[in-house]
Structure 1
């Protein structure tokens, strides 16, 4: 059981075997071969713990007045460009709608003239 990494189970089995043995010397030998794994034996010397290595910290972003102005200027430029693109798309849709309406009126007039000309 000790090779199976179960020292407490090996100790319990050894205790049972020692209890069933009639010879006290054999029982003492069995108990000595499988000591209680819950007892603590003092170690010769324990090495001191390794010093903790601090984790490398990520650099912090420092916002200076110059970078703040650059960020504000860049954000404003992006908003203006996106706004201009959206307005031009809206204008293109409006012009397309007006031209389709003019074509519809012209076609209606042509169809009405064809029916009157019979």
Structure 2
């Protein structure tokens, strides 16, 4: 039941490839290098430069807001845990004094 089942070996007769004489390859001459196409440089118009600056500023503001909100969440969680620890300590102290 747990033994592997292997497929049957292929029963087709092995094809034999007749040996033929391979001609020697002709000497190759390297092709001349193509001249580099001159690409025009990117030119920024005043409008596109302004849009690029505004987009970069927006990205900085969004990333800053996300980081500040994460820092605020961590700070609020830390304060909450500290308050719970103080309350629990006071409750345990009162419980110990009553006995």
TM-score under structure 1 length normalisation: 0.53
Query: Does 2:42 match 1:61?
Result: yes
When you count helix as a share of all residues, which structure comes out higher? 1
Q: Which structure has more RCO (C-alpha within 8 Å, separation ≥ 6)? A: 1
Structure 1: runs of 5+ lacking an equivalent = 1-51
**SS at 2:44's partner residue?**
coil
Unpaired segments ≥5 residues, structure 2: 1-32
Alignment coverage as a number of residue pairs? 67
Q: Determine the C-alpha separation between the residues in 1 that align with 2:68 and 2:81.
A: 20
Cα distance, 1:71 vs structure 2: 0.5
Find the partner of 1:107 among 63, 88, 94: 88
CA RMSD of aligned residues (A): 1.6
* Pick aligned residue for 1:90 from 71, 80, 84: 71
Structure 1 residue 53 displacement after superposition? 6.4
